[in-house]
Structures are given as structure tokens and as C-alpha cells.
Structure 1
Amino acid sequence: MHSKFVIVGGGAGGLELACKLGRKLGPGQVMLVDSRLYHIWKPSLHEVAAGTLDIHQEGLSYQMLAHDNHFTYVYGPLTALDAASRSFTVGAIDGERGETILPQRQIGYDALVLAVGSTSNYFGVPGAAEHTISLNATEDAERFRLTLLKLLVKAELEKASRARSGVDVVIIGGGATGVELAAELREASGVYATYGSGQLDPLQDVRITLLEGAPRILAPLPERVSAAALKLLQQRAITVATETRVTAITDEKVTVQGGQEYAADLVVWAAGIKAPSLLGELGLPLAKGGQIEVGGDLAVPGFPDIYALGDCAHCVGADGKPVPPRAQAAHQQADYLLETFVRQAEGRPPPTAPYAYRDYGSLVSFGQSTSVGSLMGSLKGLNWFVEGLFARLMYVSLHLLHHQAVLGTVRTGVLALARFLIKRSTPLVKLH
């Protein structure tokens, strides 16, 4: 197999690039390779984990997107790269009984974009990999949700028999993922209790603890946003411990520096990310953190036909600082490469200006129907703090803009209306 433009990784940036480029260039020019069959917007995984978003309704089939946006989809993981011959290997796909469903394949390219995202960084904490769940993919979020459901059922039975009851959830990491998951879980726990037998008190029996090593949660954001987020979490009876470094994790507890222990039935690791270890095997130049080095044109130095974007790319901005691993950065990089490749296809020179990251701010969700504390963008060095309904609408609009990029305006509008109606005819959380 061969394609002019090949994108490996169907996350926010990779998929948007494939869809927009496919619509521009037409069939046979663009290929997307991914190890999963469907796409979900990664910032919404905390909602999937809490059960407030149904992955079977939210997930978008890559095959469907390929058909509608005129690109070719290849199912399988990247396993090796041969830059000299402009080709790479896609690993085999096996069935549940070990049988080979799709064989190993070789794919040639004229231009290759690596957009393989990131994975969890456990920083060597004993037991972290074995006893925590990280929300890196849909299967992680679904595993968390199903485990929580079972624990809640068990807690109800224990309380009915007057035994020890309740569920202890510990979230390690006070960044956006950890904070949003804590708030979403608190809202969802009340709904779970409503659908149960009435034995559980969500505030007392579903105990949520957020541990953060820095002096405050949401440390990269302005202090006003952090303070507002802390207040909202405390109002929801969520225990927040800052300047707390985890030293060990077992299947029953989390131990922190100083010896204090937190009971834990379910632990989420949201304390950091790193580049996938596979990148170290591709023969490309890597930054200290394991990300692929790219220049201002997002091309890999010494490999002019290979590009990288998103979390797996180490791109230095005009201020000399690395571009942060955010969805908005991946979106902007996808648009930059879109112009580069369209120009290339038309025989025109590439853009003269290098990619420049623009920070439009950060929004933090605090549930489906509650307010959202946020920092909105920067304009000429000025920042605005927004919260409440306006901020919530802004947060939802980010998801809709991503869908618009891959589905188009009309289908995004129809899908949004359909989901609005479905939520009013189904349980507020997924119970199966």
C-alpha cells in the first residue's frame, strides 16, 4: 500500500488533518492509520469514566469518517519505520482466540505525519502501573466506569447489611483531567444513588480524594482559576490535598510522603504524561522527554518528509518554551500542516512563516449542569476569567468545533440535537 500523505494517529490533531486534507485533495491522496476502530475526543474521557457520556453514542467510526471525508483508513498499530525507503510497518491485528484477523502490512508514503499522542508517566512510583487506571483511551475510561458500578452495587449491599460501606476513589494529579474527573464523579454519584435502592448517601458513601504534588491544583493556570476550582471542589465535598507526593500504591491504599495513607478502592493516575516508548525505536531525533524533535515547519530535522504534531512532538515556540501538550495546540498544528500539504499538492512552495502556538486559554468543566471555572484566552497580553453558564457554553462549543472539523456543520448540528434529545429519554448516567 502507498499514499501521498499518511497520518499515523487518529487523535484530535491527526484526525482533523486527515479529514480536512481528504476533503481538499479527494480520494486516494490521504491515509490515516490507527490502532483503534473509532475516535473519541480525548478531553471528554472523564465523562465516559463517570458514565455521563456513552462511548457507544459518542464514538465516531474511522471507517465512516474515511468514507465521508475521502481518505483511506488502515486499522493497526505502527510497529517500525524505514525512513530510507519511505515506508513503515503496521502490526497484525489478532482476534480474541489469538487468530490473525489482519496480517502485518507495509505502507509507503511521500509525506508522513506522526500524531501518536502520549501515555502515562508514573515517575517510578511503586504500584502505580499495576494498581491505577489512567484515562489515556476509551478502554481505560470504560474499565473505570464498570469497576465503579460494581463497587457501588457492593457498597449498597454492605450498607443494607450494616457492614462497612462506601467507595473510596483517589485521583492522583490535580491538573485538568483530575479536577474534571473529580467534579464529574461527584455529580454522577448522586445520580447513581438515585437509581439505586436509596441506601447510599453520595456525599458520605462515595468519598473522593484529589492528591496534587504542587502547591495548588491546576498549577499551569492563573491562580484565580485555581482558587475558583478549589472552592467548587470543596463545595462538592471532595477532599483536596496539595503538596502531597505519592510514594506507593497498593490495591487497598495510597501512601504519600510522610507516611500518611489514603484508603482506595479505585485509583486514577492523572499526574503526568510522556511520549510513547515506541518513538525511541524509530531512529528519529528525540527531545529529553522522549518526544520527536520538530522544527518550525513541524518537520523532523534530517527527515524532511516526516512530520510530527500533538503530544508526541517537541516543538519550541517563539518564546523559546516547548508548546504545551493541549488539544488546541494539536488543532493549530493540524491546520498548519494542512496548508503545507495543500501547497505541496498544488506545486506551490510551503508557508514561509513557521508554526506559532497561540494560547486561547483553558476551560475546566465541573459537571454536566453546573458552572465551569475557566481562563479565557489572551489578547494583547490580557486575560479574562469566566465562569458559570457562559463558560459552560464555551466548553461545550470546543467539543462541537472538533466535531465540525471532522463531520461538517450540518451533521454536527444534527448530532448535537440528537444527543440532547437522547439524554432526556435515557438514564443520566450509563448503568450498563
Structure 2
Amino acid sequence: MTTGQDTAPSPLVTEGGKTQIVIVGGGAAGLELAAKLGARYGRKKHDIILVDRNRTHIWKPLLHEVATGSLDANLDETGYRSHCRRWGYRYFHGSLESVDPQRRQVILAPLLDDDGSEIFGRHAIRYDYLVMATGSVTNDFGTPGVAQNCLFLDGRHQADRFRTKLLNHCLRVSREMSANPSADSRVRVAIVGAGATGVELSAELFNAAEALSYYGLEVFDASRLEVTLIEAGPRILPALPERLAAAAHAELTALGVRVATGTQVVEVTKDAIITRDGEVIEADLKVWAAGVKGTPIAGGLGNLELSRNGQIVVRPTLQTTTDDRIFAMGDCCSCILPGSERPVPPRAQAAHQMADTVAENLTRMMKGQPLKDFVYHDHGSLVSLSRFSTVGSLMGNLVGGRMAVEGRLARFVYTSLYRMHIIAIHGWVKGLAMIAIGRVNAIIRPRLKLH
């Protein structure tokens, strides 16, 4: 096994005599699983360890709101250290470097301080059972210039970076307009990918632009914002029925978004996006939100089978195809269920359901019982166009199939998804209290986070 250095990794001190379950990744699936297992087993006979490279958790579908300043992540994030104390598991701060299935170890990279000094070196964590929940990152498909010139929304730090750049450009335009009222200065944003992230970010930008006039940018308003949404496919929001996608398209156009469908990007430069047709779309901020792939692991994943998008291939039980003791769930796994031609889509609802199945199958495996297959219940897709509108479709037994929803009902269901996540990771008492506090903060806190 290659660890990147000639010296072997130092072993992490483990709690002897206990069944050790290691969960790598503290996203929606990983954090929910850690809470479930911690509540079920405690620490008497089990040692449950959650590993994540971040110190706090933020629900990924909210990152577009963090990016525009509409949501203060400091108020909505969950600290792993306080959470693990409450739920009876251990949290370890570190980045996965490789997996060694033969030795049943995960190797974590050296942890460095901000100045580059080493806090502690490369080390190994033993496991009896391993659950991979490392999530996904945006797939640039090897398009020239994307990695160097585009912003991404894969994590909190990237969302914060986008917000800082957005505010700086808005401030520049505001100053230019103050100095010369006749100047035609604009903030130009180009977003590649018209899935949920791209569409929601497009709408949220206009919500933020309208609010900026209340926070010192008196001459700046939404008319100074120029947003282009680029989609290679024939329409936006392919996961939604065509009628709802068309409604969202019309809503975005009414806001002022230029929606360019059937447009393939071939190159991204420092100042523009270049399409296959030769069009040059100039932009101050360029966001790539087209497609996902498994999070790359520097040292590899041993003999685990990977899909062409770098996701871990799993059986219907969510066990990997090469090792029964290793499970994968959420965006990092590729799971094709019997009777289906495509993998389970990388959605928050799928991650939530997978956490339930993995928790049940770990219990069954430790008892020597047969494992159950994962069954995906598609509850539909919802897309929020900020405060302007919400559209989506729901799967309802009462209506005999897919039900189109718009307006207030869709908005209520959309916000309920996040509330269900809060309850899943914090429990009913604390979860309901946090939801109530969130409602109060929405009234008393500023509309935008500007720092």
C-alpha cells in the first residue's frame, strides 16, 4: 500500500475489545448514520468513529444560499465535536488519503495548521466495518480552463469564496455608478449547468441584489446584475416534468436571467466562457455546476470497484462489490437497483434513505442475519427560485403517481425537507427548538450576510 511516504502511518489508539465502525464523510448521509448508530449502540461495546476534513456540517442543498449571503452558515452549521458528544460516537478531524481493505484500515493524511506546520502526521484507523460517505464534487468533464477560472459550490469554503467575490464586484459597480451615474457598469455572472444548483443560484442572486441597497450600496440594484444560465441539454431542470421546467424557465426570464439551452461550453478563460458555436460570454464570475463525480481520493481506494464517474460501485445491499465489510452511500456511490438501468440519483433524499438501510444492514450483519436490499422511494424533486417561486413534483400514493406542485405548497414542502434533516441529526426536541430559533433569526437577523 502506498501512503505517499516511505514510513508507515502511525496507528490511531482504538478502544480495545469493541466493534469498530468507521464512517468517512460527515455529510447528510454520514452524519445521520453516525447519530443513528450512536443512539442505538452507545460506546459500551461499539466504537463508532466519524471522520471528516471539516469541523462543521452544513446541508449541501443550502450552499447556493450561503454563496449569495441569503443564509448565514454560522447559524445553521452543526459542529461535529458537540454533536458526537450528544450522540455517543467519536469524531476525528482529518482527510482520507487511502483505504487498505486487506489490513482493514483507512489512512488519513497529515493534518496541517494554516501556516503549513504539521499538527500530527499520517495515521491509520482500524475498522471492523467501514462506511464510505465521502460525497461528490462537481465534474468539469475535462473542459479546458474550468478548473483554473471557474468557481464551484461543493463546500462551505467555496460558497464563502463566491460570496466574497460577488460582494466585491457589487461594491465596484456601486462605486463606479456613484462616480459616474451614466456609466453602464454591471456585475456579470455566468452559470454553467441548469440543474437544481444552477437554477436556484440564478434566482437567489436577484434576491441578494435587491437587498444590497439596504446595506450601503445605495445606487446598486438588480438591474445592475447580468446573469446567464448555460445548459448543454435541450431544457433546464431535466429531473422535473417539462411543464414545470418551462414554468421555471419563464420565471427566470422574468427576473432577467438569460437562459441559453442547447449550448455546449468548450473553453473557459479568465474573462469569458466560450461555446461550441463560437459565442464569447463575458463574465466577472463564472460558476460551474454541471454534473457530479465521486470525490477523488489521493491514495486510492484499494481494490474497490469504481464507476466511470469515480463513484464506488455497490450492490443493492449498499455493500461494495469487492468487500462485504465496506459499505458506500450517498453521492459517492453508484447503485443500480434491480429492474433499473440508471444508478440511484445523487439527491439528499437518497442519502437519507441510504443511511437508514446501512444502519439496518450493519445491525443484521453483526447478528449474522441476511441483509436487506435498499429500496429507493422517489418523493419527487423541488427547486426553489428564492422568494420568487418554488416548483416541483411529488410522488404521492393519494394522487396515484407524480403530482406537480407550485407556489406556497411547493415552498412549504421544500423547507420541510431541511427541517426533516435537522430532526434526523438532532432529534425531535432539539430539532424543533432549532427550527423555532431559525424562524426567529429570519425575522431579527439582517437579510444578507455581508462578512
TM surpasses 0.5: yes
- Cα offset for 1:269? 0.5
The match for 1:151 is 169
- Aligned match of 2:189 in 169, 188, 203? 169
User: Quick check: 169-178 or 222-231, which moved more?
Assistant: 222-231
Q: 2:432 — aligned with what?
A: 413
Aligned partners of 2:239 and 2:381 also within 8 Å: no
Q: Which runs of 5+ in 2 are unaligned?
A: 1-12
Structure 1 equivalent of residue 52 of structure 2: 34
Q: Tell me the amino acid that sits aligned with residue 161 of structure 2.
A: R
- Residues 1:386 and 2:405 aligned together: yes
Tell me the equivalent position of 1:333.
354
Answer yes or no: is the 8 Å Cα contact 1:280–1:290 preserved in 2: no
Give SS of 1:144's match: helix
Paired residues of 1:24 and 1:342 also in contact (CA < 8 A)? no
**Deviation at residue 311 of structure 1 after TM alignment:** 1.2
Q: Which residue of 2 aligns with 1:82?
A: 100
Identity of aligned residues (%): 40
Query: For residue 134 of structure 2, what is the aligned residue in structure 1?
Result: 116
Aligned twin of 2:41 = 25
Change (3 A) 1:398 1:128: same
CA distance in structure 1 between the aligned counterparts of 2:393 and 2:248, rounded to whole angstroms? 11
Paired with 2:265 and 2:107, the residues of 1 have a C-alpha distance of 39
**Counterpart-to-counterpart distance in 2, 1:62 and 1:230:** 39
User: Quick one: structure 1 residues 381 and 91, their matched pair in 2 at CA, closer, same or farther if it must change by over 3 Å?
Assistant: farther
Residue number in structure 2 paired with 1:205: 224
Moved over 3 A (4+): 378-381
Q: Structure 1 regions of 5+ residues with no counterpart?
A: none
Query: Counterpart in 2 of 1:70?
Result: 88
Contact preservation (8 Å) 1:9, 1:114:
yes
Q: Which amino acid in structure 2 is aligned with residue 305 of structure 1?
A: R
SS in 2 for 1:415: helix
Q: Deviations over 1:163-217 (max 9, x none)?
A: 4412001111000000011111111110013323421231x21111111110100
Distance in 1 of aligned mates of 2:416 and 2:317: 29
Cα distance in 1 for residues equivalent to 2:201 and 2:217: 25
> 1:289, 1:50 → 2: CA distance?
29
Q: Contact 2:212–2:221 (CA<8 Å) still a contact in 1?
A: no
How far did 1:426 drift?
2.2
* Residues in 1 aligned to 2:125 and 2:349: alpha-carbon distance in whole angstroms: 29
Aligned match for 1:323, one of 318, 340, 344: 344
Task: Read off the aligned partner of 1:106 and give its amino acid letter.
Answer: A
Paired position in structure 1 for 2:271: 252
8 Å contact 2:135–2:330 — kept in the other structure? yes
Deviation at 1:322, TM superposition (A): 1.1
Take 1:179 and 1:193, find their aligned partners in 2: how far apart are those partners? 24
Residue 181 (structure 1) aligns with: 201
The 8 Å contact of residues 121 and 273 in structure 1, kept in 2 or not, is answered as yes
For the residues of structure 1 that align with 2:84 and 2:253, how far apart are their CA atoms? 45
Helix, strand or coil at the partner of 2:128: strand
Distance 1:281 1:381, change over 3 A: farther
Alignment-mate amino acid for residue 287 of structure 1: S
TM-score (norm 2): 0.92
SS in 2 for 1:113: strand
1:129 alignment partner, one of 147, 156, 181: 147
**1:58 and 2:79 equivalent?**
no
In 2, are the aligned partners of 1:254 and 1:262 still within 8 Å (CA)? yes
**Take 2:263 and 2:439, find their aligned partners in 1: how far apart are those partners?**
40
Deviates more, 1:121-130 or 1:398-407: 121-130
Q: Which amino acid aligns with 1:36?
A: N
| Offset of residue 279 of structure 1 | 7.6
**Cα drift, residue 375 of structure 1:** 0.8
